[in-house]
Amino acid sequence: MSLKKKITLTVNGVQVTAEVEPRMHLVDFLREDLHLKGPHLGCEQGACGACTVKVDGQIIRGCLYLAVQANGSVVETIEGLTKSGALADLQESFMRHNAMQCGFCSSGMLLAAAELVEKQPKASREQVREWISGNYCRCTGYHSIVDAIVAVLDARSKGQKIKPVVANA
């Protein structure tokens, strides 16, 4: 008799049905079964934010959320949000401000930043720092990340977008 549980969820716009172990974490399911490598495994205790994904529009820690809990849900990872263009100005601003160095925290940091930009479009630098405080970055010291997010908030408040840098050919 199999202990596996059948789940059906929508991941990055695609409906997925699978059988999973009842104790499998969502981030493990996304990485191992669906081969989505954007969400990372960091601390596996919910402290670092590297495993951040969206479930039904809310960011969650994928290492603390069981795959069976996502049954019937809409899950979005950095891969899906990148393809949809939802993060384009944040990604561009992160690149312009050198806010991505090793890249390990970037997917979780971008998802947290996207939620902030959506929910608090007039956030101050201090509010930005507080909002992203649950996402650890060991490379940048956060200053460049805060600069990048503030630049997007400022541009959006003026009805502008961060324009991509076009490399010379």
Q: What is the pLDDT of residues 84-122, one digit of tens each?
A: 888 899 999 999 999 988 888 999 999 999 999 999 999
| pTM, full prediction | 0.88
Each as own residue / partner, the long-range contacts of residues 30-36 (CB below 8 Å, 24 or more positions apart, any chain) are 30/62, 30/75, 30/77, 36/11, 36/12, 36/77, 36/79
d(CA 110, CA 106): 6
Q: Give just the sign of the alpha carbon dihedral 12, 13, 19, 23.
A: positive
Contact assessment for residue 36 and residue 11, using Cβ atoms and an 8 Å cutoff: yes
Q: Name residue, tokens 């989505």.
A: 36
What class, spelled out in words, does domain 5-81 have in CATH? Answer: alpha beta
Residues 127-168 have pLDDT tens digits of 999 999 999 998 887 999 999 999 999 999 999 887 776 655
* pLDDT tens, residue by residue, 57-82: 999 999 999 999 999 999 999 999 88
Length of the chain: 169
First to last CA, the chain: 60
Distance separating alpha carbons of residues 82 and 160, to the nearest angstrom: 19
In the chain, domain spans: 5-81, 87-157
Question: Which of 1.10.150.120, 2.60.40.10, 3.90.76.10, 3.30.1490.20 is the CATH number of 87-157?
Answer: 1.10.150.120
